[in-house]
Amino acid sequence: MTASAGGSNGADVKVFGDGIGDDAVLETFGYEQELKRTFGVVGMVGFSFSIVSCWTALSGVLIVGVESGGPPVMIWSWVGVCAVSLAVTYSMAEMCSAYPVAGGQYSWVAILAPKKWARGLSYVCGWFMLIGILAMGAVNNFICANFILGMANLTNPTYTIERWHTVLVAYLICTFATLSNILLPHLLNRISKAVLLWNICAFIVCVTTLLAMNDHKQPPSFVFSSFQNSTGFPRSYAAILGILQSAFGMCCYDAPAHMTEEIRDARVQAPRAIVWSVWLGGVTGFVFLITLCFCMGSIEETAASATGVPVIAIFYNSTGSVAGACGLTVLITVIPLVCANSLMAEGGRAVYAFARDKGLPFSGVVGRVHPRLCVPVWAVVVTGVVQAAFNSIYFGTVTGFNTIISIATEGFYVSYALPLLVCIIARLSPDGEQHRKLEGPYSLGRWGLLANVVGFVYLAFAVITFNFPTVKPVDEENMNYTSAAVGVVMVIALITWITTGRKHYSGPETGVVVEGVEGAA
């Protein structure tokens, strides 16, 4: 049952008893339950870990760390990034527990921000969130395509990988994920459980095989202290650039927040899935990075591999067998393939939620849920089309697509930073007293403010760093255009705000959830 009490600023404080159901909680935010709740905690951990799956993500962007500081920067920056990312993770888990709606970050901003700024900040957060999710889907398609074509090159050295080959394979992956999400949504939970087991087993097999078969391992000094710099910039600057690999690898852990309307006991299980997937990702990523660095061989040869994927070269040099290298690569490739399906689901739910709140053009169509399939079909289609459009940029320019990679991470991090910022303001502001008492089943208690501050400082640092040039001398071909891309996102958000959002964008009902108050009616 629910009860209401007047808040200090006039907002209603929604009070939930222990027995209130997921659907009733959702209704208090002004939404109807339209999606089926099929996920349990194991399936959602598998779903989230398939996206966060840091060890496979790191192997896909290994070249960044190899050229910007080498093994020591890759390893120690991973430890540091994981540590501060946990502050972000626990902060997001707490907000997800209190506000279990598919909008995730932008919904939290709408509820926690000062009333004067809530709608505008929430709208901006929503656009960065969508750009991050949709661009990351395109990046994942690209990484998966690279693994597939890299194996083709390894088995047939006369084959030359062309950019258009990569784009076409990315299209196929995107199409597979789109159709799977529309036609087979009932299998998503089962697939997620299966890929959790596959993910862990593949990790164990890859690490064990590399360590057992590689007979020319690097010395510990190379792995932990030998600094490498191919950027042309000073060592300190190169080290900062090397952190970008870790920042990319430890990302996308908001996925369960966007699936809360399909999780049973969402206020408890969704936060657990967020936290557990990050811990799994951090540990597996650390072990895999150390393994790769010991088995790397020549950095120059690894970076210049004809396969286009340094980790495939490491597999081949370690096993001495094309079949062995391809076998290990297949184990990895399955994960981004399933990740494409998961990112499509996450993106579809995020687009659906934003359209439901009238945040997008044609929201009335995009925000519909198919009555028989119980899937936001048009939101999934929009997600697939935008991913394919991002992948198409690679037809014309490598630099342009590299910007998509940067804006994907930047979009996520901005959308993570804004909820933390308004949460800090709510905790410290006299008008935020009711927010300071905001404690869902998953609460940080007195440690909440510290986690919010540490997480926000890291995110602000990362968002700034993503705009730095990565190679010197800088020219039009290697320039980092992330800041320009951010400007484009802001312009799009401004235009849509003026044309539709200002009049129609709603967001969730901004009540405050207080857990387990005695005497709730």
pLDDT in tens, 95-105: 999 999 999 99
| Helix, strand, or coil (residue 297) | coil
Compute the average pLDDT of residues 205-215.
95
State the pLDDT at residue 521. Answer: 34
Helix ranges (H only) for 295-321 are 299-303, 310-319
19-63 pLDDT, tens digit each: 457 888 888 888 999 999 999 999 999 999 999 888 888 876 677
At residue 14, the pLDDT reads 46
Q: Is the dihedral of CA 180, 183, 188, 191 positive or negative?
A: negative
Question: Which residues have C-beta within 8 Å of that of residue 328, sequence separation ≥ 6?
Answer: 205, 206, 209, 210, 315, 319
Q: Which of 450, 453, 485 is nearest to 466 (CA)?
A: 485
pLDDT tier, 478 (very low <50, low <70, confident <90, very high otherwise): confident
Residue 432 pLDDT > 70, yes or no? no
For residue 411, is pLDDT > 50? yes
Average pLDDT over residues 5-12: 39
Q: Are 514 and 438 in contact (CB under 8 A)?
A: yes
Return the sign of the alpha-carbon dihedral for residues 284, 285, 287, 293.
positive
Say which residues have a Cβ less than 8 Å from residue 83's Cβ, sequence separation at least 6.
none
Give the pLDDT confidence score for residue 241 in this predicted structure. Answer: 81
Q: Which letter, b or e, does each residue of 99-125 get, where b requires 16 or more Cβ atoms within 10 Å of its Cβ?
A: bbbbbbbbbbbbbbbeeeebbbbbbbb
Alpha carbons 288 and 292: distance in angstroms, whole number = 6
Query: Would you give the DSSP letter of residue 219?
Result: P
* CA nearest neighbour of 488 among 248, 134, 136, 128: 128
| Least confident range of 42-51, 238-247, 389-398 | 238-247
SS3 percent helix, strand, coil of the chain, rounded to 5, is: 70, 5, 25
CA dihedral 182, 60, 392, 403 (to 10 degrees): 120
Q: Which two tokens stand for residue 236?
A: 């300190």
pLDDT band at 214 (very low <50, low <70, confident <90, very high): very high
The percent of residues above 90 in pLDDT, for the chain, comes to: 58
Question: Span 222-237, mean pLDDT?
Answer: 82
Minimum mean pLDDT among 57-71, 343-357, 401-415, 451-465: which range?
57-71
51, 142, 245, 463 from 251: Cα distances, Å? 9, 17, 11, 13
- The predicted pLDDT at position 1 comes to 35
Query: What is the rounded CA–CA span in Å between residue 134 and residue 335?
Result: 18
CATH of 2-515, one of 3.40.50.300, 3.40.50.1450, 1.20.1740.10, 1.10.357.10: 1.20.1740.10
The segment with the largest mean pLDDT, out of 346-350, 395-399, 474-478, 496-500, is 346-350
Output the pTM of the full model: 0.89
Mean pLDDT calculated for residue range 74-82:
92
CA nearest neighbour of 456 among 427, 417, 414, 409: 417
For all residues of the chain together, what is the average pLDDT? 87
Token pair recorded at residue 467: 């705009």
pLDDT at 303: 74
Question: How far is residue 475's CA from residue 478's CA, in Å, rounded to a whole number?
Answer: 6
DSSP 432: G
Q: How far apart are CA 177 and CA 179, in angstroms?
A: 6
Coil, strand or helix at 12 = strand
Give pLDDT, residue 474: 81
- Name the residue with higher pLDDT: 404 or 437: 404
Q: Which pLDDT score is estimated for 443?
A: 87
Task: Give mean pLDDT, residues 113-140.
Answer: 93
pLDDT confidence of residue 519: 34
- Distance separating the N- and C-terminal Cα atoms of the chain: 6
Write out the two tokens for 287: 């072990």
Q: What is the mean pLDDT of residues 220-238?
A: 83
pLDDT at 3: 37
DSSP 272: H
Alpha helices in 357-447 (DSSP H): 363-366, 377-396, 398-428, 433-436
| Angle between helix 398-428 and helix 377-396 axes, rounded to 10 deg | 130
Instruction: Identify which of 514, 518, 519 has the alpha carbon closest to the alpha carbon of residue 25.
Output: 514
What does the block give as tokens for 318?
Answer: 């370690």
pLDDT digits (tens, 9 = 90+) for 134-189: 999 999 999 999 999 999 999 999 999 999 999 999 999 999 999 999 999 989 99
Rank 52-56, 250-254, 334-338 by mean pLDDT and report only the highest: 334-338
Residue 434 or 464, more confident: 464
Q: What is the DSSP string of 332-372?
A: HHHHHHHHHHHHHHHHHHHHHHHHHTT-STTHHHHT---TT
Name the β-bridge partners of 520.
none
Among residues 449, 431, 411, which one has the least CA distance to residue 125? 411
Arithmetic mean of pLDDT, 488-506? 88
Bridge partners, 228 (sequence order):
69
Residue 369 has pLDDT above 50, yes or no: yes
> From CA 326, how far away is CA 316, in angstroms rounded?
8
Minimum mean pLDDT range among 21-35, 78-92, 346-360: 21-35
Amino acid at 506: S
- Answer whether residue 516 shows pLDDT above 50: no
Q: What tokens does 289 get?
A: 């990075």
